[in-house]
Amino acid sequence: MAYATCSWFGIDMLYLVKAEFVEENNAGKPIHDVMALTDGMVTPSLEALEKAIQAKKVTGGLVAGAREGFFMMDASSHEEIAGFLRSLPFWVAMKWTVLPLQSPRSAIEQDKAFMQKAKAMLGGKS
């Protein structure tokens, strides 16, 4: 892939990740079930995210007072980020949106290449 690597912060590729809790997981359930979900899935997942933050693999956090979070992660491939998300115990209880980010430098390079091709197509006229 031509843009799989970038020099942005010296990492492989940045991904913006949004995690939203699927409310149906708690709807109408007794408090004991909600507590079990929190204890067995949510807390271990947040601990894994905190560990990834401490390792400087992830940055971000939770939206205050809401059941969603945003973070950025550097990864060498789509498979790496998918594997990380699937390793989180609450992966099945969340709706995930993952967006690969392009560095500003690579966008500038693409724009320059486009302009060169466009000028060539126009016979050098600008």
Q: What is the DSSP string of 6-32?
A: --GGG-S-EEEEEEEE-GGGTTT--HH
Of the two residues 18 and 10, the one the predictor is more confident about is 18
Residue 105: DSSP 8-state: H
> 53: how many CB neighbours lie within 10 A of its CB?
15
Q: Which tens digits make up the pLDDT trace of 56-104?
A: 989 999 999 999 999 999 998 899 999 999 999 999 999 999 999 988 8
Q: Flag whether the pTM goes above 0.85.
A: no
Instruction: Please indicate, yes or no, if residue 49 is contained in any of the structural domains.
Output: yes
Instruction: Please indicate, yes or no, if residue 2 is contained in any of the structural domains.
Output: no
Q: Which tens digits make up the pLDDT trace of 17-31?
A: 999 999 877 788 899
Instruction: Please indicate, yes or no, if residue 20 is contained in any of the structural domains.
Output: yes
Q: Which residue range(s) make up the domain with 29?
A: 8-121
Overall number of domains in the chain: 1
- Position 103 scores a pLDDT of 84
